């Protein structure tokens, strides 16, 4: 009995584990939380049942003929050609079937493209490997990255187990926040390569293409958290740029907007003050982990042959002017420019952190006012 107890426990854990895994397994499209998603779902089910009906009729007739007209029963094949009635039937019936699918499909496509009379407009820009959200009506602008815990767990040599991270690779540091029951118009583009913005519960996905603006819209009916991801192969970290949409009530959304505007004002004020080196390094470490660690690694050692190390880097340990230029304008073919994606405080902080971390210990620091003046002169 003592020997069988661990075996029973293991079997029970296996069954429970399988049940937990199957809880996330779906055989069909989600119905979603928008009118469009339900239209897409209904269209999908209409086509599915039409195909099921065609399959039943065609295979039913085929199996019936095989069984009842088999050679062992002495069946002799009929000899006829060019039946006008048969040709009319097999032309008219498929035409009716196609029309029955085309009408709802056309209606759904027209509804999906109608971005008029929107209550809110948000510009979405895809970067390798993050998203930028600009609220054109509110003046809010921020980057959304993979959440720090998932980012740390995925790093080479990490001691954090991915299975212990809530929503591993499906969470972000700053989600897109929107109000419910408001028509939201999205404008999509990209800064480097083609990405694809996809949240299944909204009922559609849209490519973000460099140099082009594409549109879509949504109207979320239920408050909640809705997760998605980039659906285009956009580079080595394609699997690490999730999307999180948080739908709030109108009152909660108004409060969030006020908080964001307050934070933006505080950022402007912070960019004009003189920071201590310790404060710059502390802030810079967070910026580094969100924006730099995916390539240069959390330990600053980089990926040999692909991404250079920060530790002992001739750029980081060399003249500070060159270091600032590389961060602002990008370096080589792999490193993007950060002048448009980070503000003056974050730029100054991450440069200061890099020059004093990973054994570099240069001892200097960059002030946000220096970065702000450089950004102003370059525009």
Segment (H or E) for 349: helix 344-356
Measured from the Cβ of residue 234, the count of other Cβ atoms closer than 10 Å reads 21
Rounded CA separation 315/151 (Å): 25
The yes-or-no verdict on residue 41 having pLDDT over 70 is yes
Percentage of the chain modeled with pLDDT above 70: 92
pLDDT the model gives residue 13: 44
Taking each helix axis from N to C terminus, what angle separates 344-356 and 368-378, rounded to the nearest 10 degrees?
A: 120
Rounded CA separation 143/127 (Å): 10
The yes-or-no verdict on residue 1 having pLDDT over 60 is no
Q: Residue 311 has which token pair? A: 């530790």
Rounded CA separation 133/141 (Å): 6
Using alpha carbons only, give the angle 146, 147, 149 rounded to the nearest 5 degrees: 125
SS3 state of residue 229: strand
* Segment 184-208 mean pLDDT: 95
Q: Residue 8 has which token pair? A: 């029973």
Q: Which residues have C-beta within 8 Å of that of residue 102, sequence separation ≥ 6?
A: none
Segment (H or E) for 347: helix 344-356
Segment (H or E) for 246: strand 242-248
Peptide bond into 129 cis (omega under 30): yes
pLDDT in tens, 204-250: 999 999 999 999 999 999 999 999 999 999 888 899 999 999 999 99
The yes-or-no verdict on residue 6 having pLDDT over 70 is no
Confidence band (pLDDT; 50, 70, 90) for 73?
confident
Rounded CA separation 110/57 (Å): 32
Q: How far is CA 248 from CA 112, 256, 351, in A?
A: 23, 9, 36
Q: How far is CA 103 from CA 43, 57, 96, 203, 371, in A?
A: 10, 23, 11, 19, 57
Q: Which residues have C-beta within 8 Å of that of residue 243, sequence separation ≥ 6?
A: 131, 144, 172, 176, 197, 198, 199, 227, 228, 229, 230
Q: Are 128 and 330 in contact (CB under 8 A)?
A: no
Domains of the chain listed by start with CATH number: 29-61+83-113 (no CATH), 120-254 (2.60.40.420), 272-378 (1.10.760.10)
Q: Which residues have C-beta within 8 Å of that of residue 67, sequence separation ≥ 6?
A: none
Confidence band (pLDDT; 50, 70, 90) for 80?
confident
Segment (H or E) for 134: strand 130-135
Indicate whether this model's pTM tops 0.75.
Answer: yes
Scan for tokens 């009906």, then name that residue. Answer: 53
pLDDT in tens, 243-299: 999 999 999 999 999 999 998 888 888 888 999 999 999 999 999 988 888 889 888
SS3 state of residue 236: coil
Q: Are 193 and 234 in contact (CB under 8 A)?
A: yes
Give the residue among 310, 312, 313, 291 at the shortest CA–CA distance from 302: 310
Rounded CA separation 17/13 (Å): 6
Question: Buried b / exposed e across 264-295, counting CB within 10 Å, b at 16+?
Answer: eeeeeeebeeebeeeebbebbbebbbbbbbbb
Using alpha carbons only, give the angle 363, 279, 286 rounded to the nearest 5 degrees: 100
Residue 365 CA to its chain's centroid (Å): 35
pLDDT in tens, 316-370: 999 999 999 999 988 776 788 898 889 999 999 999 999 999 999 989 989 998 8
pLDDT in tens, 117-162: 999 999 999 998 999 999 999 999 999 999 989 988 888 788 889 9
């Amino acid at each position: 009995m003592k020997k069988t107890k661990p075996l029973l426990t293991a079997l029970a854990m296996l069954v429970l584990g399988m049940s937990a895994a199957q809880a996330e397994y779906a055989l069909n499209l989600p119905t979603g939380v928008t009118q469009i998603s339900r239209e897409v779902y209904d269209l999908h089910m209409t086509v599915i049942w039409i195909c099921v009906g065609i399959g039943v009729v065609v295979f039913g007739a085929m199996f019936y003929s095989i069984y009842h007209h088999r050679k062992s029963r002495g069946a002799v094949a009929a000899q006829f050609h060019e039946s006008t009635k048969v040709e009319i039937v097999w032309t008219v019936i498929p035409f009716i079937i196609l029309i029955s699918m085309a009408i709802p499909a056309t209606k759904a496509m027209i509804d999906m493209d109608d971005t008029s009379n929107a209550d809110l407009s948000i510009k979405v820009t895809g970067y390798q490997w993050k998203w930028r959200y600009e609220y054109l009506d509110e003046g809010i602008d921020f980057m959304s990255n993979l959440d720090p815990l998932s980012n740390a767990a995925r790093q080479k040599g990490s001691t954090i187990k991915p299975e212990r991270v809530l929503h591993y690779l499906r969470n972000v540091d700053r989600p897109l926040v929107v109000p419910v029951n408001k028509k939201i118009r999205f404008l999509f583009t990209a800064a480097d390569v083609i990405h694809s913005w996809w949240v299944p519960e909204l009922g559609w996905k849209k490519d973000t293409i460099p140099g082009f603006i594409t549109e879509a819209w949504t109207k979320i009916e239920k408050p909640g958290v809705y997760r998605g991801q980039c659906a285009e192969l956009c580079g080595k970290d394609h699997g690490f740029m999730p999307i999180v949409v948080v739908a709030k009530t109108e009152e909660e959304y108004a409060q969030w907007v006020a908080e964001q505007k307050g934070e933006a004002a505080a950022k402007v004020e912070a960019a004009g003050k003189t920071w201590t080196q310790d404060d710059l390094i502390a802030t810079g470490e967070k910026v580094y982990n969100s924006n730099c660690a995916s390539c240069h690694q959390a330990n600053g050692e980089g990926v040999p042959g692909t991404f250079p190390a920060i530790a002992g880097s001739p750029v980081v340990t060399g003249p500070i002017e060159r270091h600032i230029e590389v961060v602002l304008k990008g370096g080589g073919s792999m490193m993007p420019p950060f002048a448009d994606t980070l503000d003056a405080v974050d730029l100054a902080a991450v440069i200061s952190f890099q020059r004093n971390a990973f054994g570099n210990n240069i001892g200097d620091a960059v002030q946000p006012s220096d970065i702000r003046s450089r950004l102003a002169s370059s525009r």
